[in-house]
């Protein structure tokens, strides 16, 4: 029994080391220049996680690179079957400005939930894909939501969405899952620039086409969410000050380009 207990402790320590490194590998980059996160040719430097699939199982070529664009496609799908997908950076970041141009076009998968139509987003301060359950639809994170005209999920783009998290608005904690920005929607098939200025656990600002649309503070794990509770049990801080960046595939075709990051001084 004593040997068995020691082995259990040994494997628990190994798991915690693995989890810590995959969630806590923060950038160590000394530059004030913009850095491209996407090479325009392939998915090197990124990790794919699709709901119900093992890590890096990019089923039906959901994510692919073409003509300098990171594309999300459902042309090879017969049905969506709740297979929400995300493609993650391989490095976690804490203080930075993230910028991406996105274009929503076409129609969503017919069997996907209605709110996914003309809907996508960028996930910030996200848990690592390695720490997600195989059947976990969304990473614990902070989302910058991308919507286009005709979407049923809202009437603004650049909204703050909080899977497994809460945020503070004007110094007050809100438990609303979606906090609307003040941006308008843009037509389908239009390139839009999203920018997130992220200052650890302090202040986060979203901008659309260079204009501030929402700011919030002190993101924190929701201790009533089962995936956030798992992170807390494994030793994650309640107040989230770093994480990975991920782009969404939730049943709606979308293109991403000019995916860049600028590291800020802490």
Q: What pLDDT is attached to residue 221?
A: 99
- Looking at residue 87, its pLDDT comes to 99
What does the mean pLDDT of the chain come to? 92
d(CA 97, CA 103): 20
Three-state DSSP at 61 gives helix
- The rounded distance, in Å, linking the Cα atoms of 159 and 143 is 8
Which tokens sit at 205? Answer: 């600002």
> Residue 40's Cα: distance from chain center in Å?
20
Compute and round to an integer the Cα radius of gyration of the chain. 18
pTM of the model: 0.90
Neighbours of 157 (CB within 10 A): 30
A 10 A CB-CB count for 76 gives: 9
pLDDT for 14 beyond 80: no
For 176-235, write each residue's pLDDT tens digit: 999 999 999 999 999 999 999 999 999 999 999 999 999 999 999 999 999 999 999 999
Locate the domains of the chain by residue range. 2-263
pLDDT at 1: 40
- Give tens-digit pLDDT for 174-188: 999 999 999 999 999
Residue 232 phi/psi, 5° resolution?
-65, -40
Sequence-separated (6 or more) residues with CB below 8 Å from residue 82: 51, 52, 112, 137
User: Distance (Å, rounded) from C-alpha 143 to C-alpha 122?
Assistant: 6
Contact 142, 93 (CB under 8 A): no
**Residues 39-83: tens digit of each pLDDT:** 999 999 999 999 999 999 999 999 999 999 999 999 999 999 999
Quote the CA–CA distance of 2 and 47 in Å, as a whole number.
39
Q: How far is CA 26 from the centre of its chain?
A: 16
Q: Decide if pLDDT at 102 tops 60.
A: yes
Give the pLDDT of residue 62: 99
Return contacts of 206-209, CB within 8 angstroms, 24+ apart.
Answer: 206/144, 206/158, 206/160, 206/181, 207/158, 208/157, 208/158, 208/181, 208/183
Position 261 scores a pLDDT of 99
CATH fold of 2-263 reads Jelly Rolls (2.60.120)
State the pLDDT at residue 32. 72
Is the confidence at residue 27, as pLDDT, over 70? no
The pLDDT score that the predictor gives to residue 150 is 97
């Amino acid at each position: 029994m004593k040997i068995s207990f020691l082995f259990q402790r040994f494997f628990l320590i190994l798991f915690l080391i693995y989890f810590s490194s995959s969630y806590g590998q923060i950038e160590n980059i000394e530059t004030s220049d913009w850095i491209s996160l996407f090479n325009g040719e392939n998915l090197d430097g990124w990790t794919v996680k699709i709901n119900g699939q093992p890590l890096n199982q990019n089923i039906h070529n959901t994510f692919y690179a073409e003509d300098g664009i990171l594309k999300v496609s459902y042309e090879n799908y017969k049905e969506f079957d709740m297979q929400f997908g995300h493609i993650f950076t391989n490095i976690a970041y804490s203080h930075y400005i993230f910028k991406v141009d996105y274009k929503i076009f076409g129609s969503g998968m017919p069997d996907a939930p209605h709110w996914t139509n003309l809907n996508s987003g960028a996930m910030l301060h996200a848990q690592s894909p390695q720490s997600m359950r195989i059947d976990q639809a969304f990473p614990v994170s902070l989302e910058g939501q991308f919507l286009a005209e005709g979407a049923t999920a809202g009437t603004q783009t650049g909204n703050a969405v909080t899977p497994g998290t809460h945020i503070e608005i004007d110094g007050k904690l809100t438990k609303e899952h979606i906090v609307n920005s003040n941006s308008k929607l843009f037509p389908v098939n239009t390139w839009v620039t999203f920018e997130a200025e992220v200052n650890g656990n302090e202040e986060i600002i979203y901008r659309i086409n260079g204009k501030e649309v929402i700011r919030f503070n002190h993101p924190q794990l929701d201790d009533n969410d089962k995936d956030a509770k798992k992170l807390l049990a494994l030793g994650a801080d309640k107040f989230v000050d770093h994480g990975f960046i991920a782009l969404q595939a939730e049943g709606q075709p979308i293109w991403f380009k000019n995916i860049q990051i600028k590291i800020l001084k802490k």
